[in-house]
Amino acid sequence: MVLAQLGGSISRAIQQMSNATIIDEKVLNECLNEITRALLQADVQFKLVREMQTNIKKIVNLDDLAAGHNKRRIIQQAIFNELCKILDPGKPSFTPKKGKPSVIMFVGLQGSGKTTTCTKYAYYHQKKGWKPALVCADTFRAGAFDQLKQNATKAKIPFYGRYSFDNLLDILSAFENLEIDEFYTESDPVRIAVEGVETFKKENCDLIIVDTSGRHKQEAALFEEMRQVSEATNPDLVIFVMDSSIGQAAFDQAQAFKQSVSVGAVIVTKMDGHAKGGGALSAVAATKSPVIFIGTGEHMDEFEVFDVKPFVSRLLG
């Protein structure tokens, strides 16, 4: 079974090794180096690959391999298990309970698919009988509120948000001599988040999803804003949304988020693309949190519960 799950280059490396007449350390090392290359190409962090290599060498007994039987199975099993182990942080994430209000905060870089994922997550639960609601606390990106509003309306999910002062400025810049600051808007994401959460708690929503800003630049300001939103809304779970194509940058990025807010779960988006998603291993290692869902397309229902085995086989493919 494991053989079928192992992908092309890895299978080839193992095949080559098991064809060798004598399996000595050199042959095993060559095989492991080949596997390392494949995993690096799949964006698994170098450090994790090295650790895995060391662990496999400890597990795989050369005498067993030399005995001639089950060589392939022993190595395959070891690789597969090691990768699954990296994806298991050892504790499950917070699981919301139907009928009891939970606040779920989403964080991630701009473009990672955060806003789309918020709606997918809400829609997924709504179909299972939950009463979700969406709060747009992203006052930075022009259009963020409109995007969430549009998605939420389509899915018939209640939403809360306001246009920010800056966004309104853009709209009104077409008019001359206008006293813009007389207009009331709200650009404080913390205030919006708190208002939204309070509103939906009163409405007995059991899954209150807070979408935060994910600006690219001004990183320090982004992390401070996230920290404040988290402090003010006291989320039961913070979900880090990561684009599967982020590559080797995944570890540092996930770590930076974890250092600001208490990330408790990971969602990997755009798994329908070319990327194998090896960055997910880094995100798990950096946040010590499990991957809970994957995004597999732009549509609301292209969202799946994370399943470690198919994910690892794709990684090795």
- Residues in the site for ligand GDP, rule: CB under 6 A? 108, 110-116, 214, 269-270, 272-273, 295-298
Shortest approach of ligand GDP to residue 268 CB, angstroms?
9
Cβ-based nearer residue to ligand GDP, 131 or 270: 270
Instruction: Read off the amino acid at residue 90.
Output: G
State the CB neighbour count (10 A cutoff) for residue 243: 24
C-alpha closest to that of 282 among 272, 291, 270, 294: 291
H/E element, 35: helix 25-41
Shortest approach of ligand GDP to residue 141 CB, angstroms?
7
Cβ-based nearer residue to ligand GDP, 270 or 276: 270
User: How far is it, in rounded angstroms, from Cα 46 to Cα 50?
Assistant: 6
Tokens matching residue 147: 């995007």
Which residue's CB comes closest to ligand GDP? 295
Tokens matching residue 13: 């490396």
User: How far is it, in rounded angstroms, from Cα 138 to Cα 115?
Assistant: 9
Shortest approach of ligand GDP to residue 209 CB, angstroms?
13
Helix then strand then coil, in percent of the chain rounded to 5, is: 55, 15, 35
Tokens matching residue 178: 């206008």
Cβ-based nearer residue to ligand GDP, 106 or 200: 106
User: How far is it, in rounded angstroms, from Cα 3 to Cα 14?
Assistant: 10
Cβ-based nearer residue to ligand GDP, 64 or 166: 166
User: How far is it, in rounded angstroms, from Cα 9 to Cα 265?
Assistant: 30
Shortest approach of ligand GDP to residue 269 CB, angstroms?
4
Tokens matching residue 290: 């499990």
Shortest approach of ligand GDP to residue 182 CB, angstroms?
31
Cβ-based nearer residue to ligand GDP, 273 or 317: 273
β-pair partners for 242:
268
β-pair partners for 163:
none
Cβ-based nearer residue to ligand GDP, 89 or 297: 297
User: How far is it, in rounded angstroms, from Cα 37 to Cα 27?
Assistant: 16
Shortest approach of ligand GDP to residue 178 CB, angstroms?
30
Residues in the chain: 317
Tokens 């950096």 belong to: 286
Shortest approach of ligand GDP to residue 60 CB, angstroms?
36
Cβ-based nearer residue to ligand GDP, 5 or 110: 110
Shortest approach of ligand GDP to residue 298 CB, angstroms?
4
Cβ-based nearer residue to ligand GDP, 162 or 270: 270
User: How far is it, in rounded angstroms, from Cα 135 to Cα 268?
Assistant: 21
